[in-house]
């Protein structure tokens, strides 16, 4: 096993796309391909054997859907990050995937560079989403009409960073927007985790939106 790399497993029933994603991961020194699978029927055993850092998960697969698969992963391997991939940014599937425990949601038409950034963000605790999906997630959570929680106090900067994340900004984009370093962005995100009592950016975004903190 190579050191200091992000281990990636792929679940995709389309053979051509599965092979394309595999080659993309294999060609980058910062990644290590665990294995690529055509379905998720044995995902518990496969994940337990290889323990990837990040899983790229097709949302629509035969036998067991990606939404069902991500729940199995999060129930048994909470530290493994799952990025959902789909052709359409369907509202219901987006919401169900995030609630099941996915940390990110990317369209299959996303550029390879965006997917690479998404894997890196997920591995570092981020919540990578294409802008259109991030907008839908924001809208869906705000529709829940959950009472405001006034017990948590985020600073102006923390709210700015959390809002940027819900809009699909990467750490690098946030650093440029706020004129701060990426390390400073990570420092603020660590503080956000502690204040919200969460362990991932998806949980942070979800809680912030549900409690109307941003």
Between 104 and 21, the more confident residue is 21
Q: Could you report the per-residue pLDDT of 96-109, keeping only the tens digit for each?
A: 777 778 888 888 88
Residue 14: pLDDT band with limits 50, 70, 90? very high
Cα–Cα distance measured from residue 51 to residue 14, given in angstroms and rounded to the nearest whole number: 23
Residue 154: pLDDT band with limits 50, 70, 90? confident
Which pLDDT belongs to residue 147?
Answer: 47
Q: Could you report the per-residue pLDDT of 158-176, keeping only the tens digit for each?
A: 988 888 877 777 788 889 9
Which pLDDT belongs to residue 214?
Answer: 72
Q: What is the CB neighbour count within 10 angstroms for residue 45? A: 9
Which pLDDT belongs to residue 137?
Answer: 66
pTM of the model: 0.66
CB 103 within 8 A of CB 200: yes
What contacts 117, CB < 8 A, 6 or more positions away? 128, 170
Q: Select the highest-mean-pLDDT range: 65-74, 89-98, 156-165.
A: 65-74
How would CATH label the architecture of 6-129? 3-Layer(aba) Sandwich (3.40)
118 has a pLDDT exceeding 60: yes
**What is the DSSP code string of 53-106?**
SEEEEESS-SSS-HHHHHHHHHHH-TTSEEEEEESS--HHHHHHHHHHT-SEEE
**What is the DSSP code string of 14-49?**
-HHHHHHHHHHHHT-TTEEEEEEES--TTHHHHHHH
Span 66-90, average pLDDT? 88
* Residue ranges covered by each domain of the chain: 6-129, 144-210
Cα four-point dihedral sign 22, 26, 29, 31: positive
Beta bridge partners of 33: 8
Which pLDDT belongs to residue 138?
Answer: 64
Phi and psi at residue 123, to the nearest 5°: -65, -30
Which pLDDT belongs to residue 8?
Answer: 97
- Give the single-character DSSP code of 109: T
For the chain, give the mean pLDDT: 84
What tokens were used for 14? Answer: 């389309």
CB 152 within 8 A of CB 195: yes
Q: What is the CB neighbour count within 10 angstroms for residue 202? A: 26
Between 197 and 34, the more confident residue is 34
Which pLDDT belongs to residue 98?
Answer: 75
Going by C-alpha positions, the residue among 22, 35, 87 that lies closest to residue 58 is 87
Least confident of 7-16, 72-81, 159-168: 159-168
Span 36-52, average pLDDT? 96
Taking the mean position of all CA atoms in its chain, how far away is CA 164?
15
Top CATH class, 144-210:
mainly alpha
Residue 46: pLDDT band with limits 50, 70, 90? very high
Cα–Cα distance measured from residue 75 to residue 97, given in angstroms and rounded to the nearest whole number: 14
């Amino acid at each position: 096993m190579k050191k200091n790399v992000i281990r990636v497993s792929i679940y995709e029933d389309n053979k051509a796309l599965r092979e394309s994603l595999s080659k993309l991961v294999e060609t980058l020194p910062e990644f290590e391909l665990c294995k690529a699978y055509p379905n998720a029927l044995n995902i518990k055993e496969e994940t337990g054997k290889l323990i990837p850092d990040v899983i790229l998960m097709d949302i629509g697969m035969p036998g067991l859907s990606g939404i069902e698969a991500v729940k199995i992963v999060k129930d048994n391997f909470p530290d493994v990050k799952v990025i959902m991939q789909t052709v359409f940014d369907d509202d219901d599937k987006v919401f169900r995937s995030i609630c099941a425990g996915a940390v990110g949601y990317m369209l299959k038409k996303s550029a390879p560079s965006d997917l690479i950034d998404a894997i890196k963000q997920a591995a570092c605790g981020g919540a990578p989403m294409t802008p259109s999906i991030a907008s839908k997630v924001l809208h869906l959570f705000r529709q829940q009409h959950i009472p405001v929680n006034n017990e948590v106090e985020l600073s102006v900067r923390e709210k700015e960073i959390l809002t940027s994340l819900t809009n699909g900004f990467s750490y690098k984009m946030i650093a440029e927007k706020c004129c701060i370093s990426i390390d400073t962005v990570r420092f603020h995100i660590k503080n956000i985790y502690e204040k919200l009592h969460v362990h991932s950016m998806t949980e942070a975004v979800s809680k912030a939106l549900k409690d109307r903190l941003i």
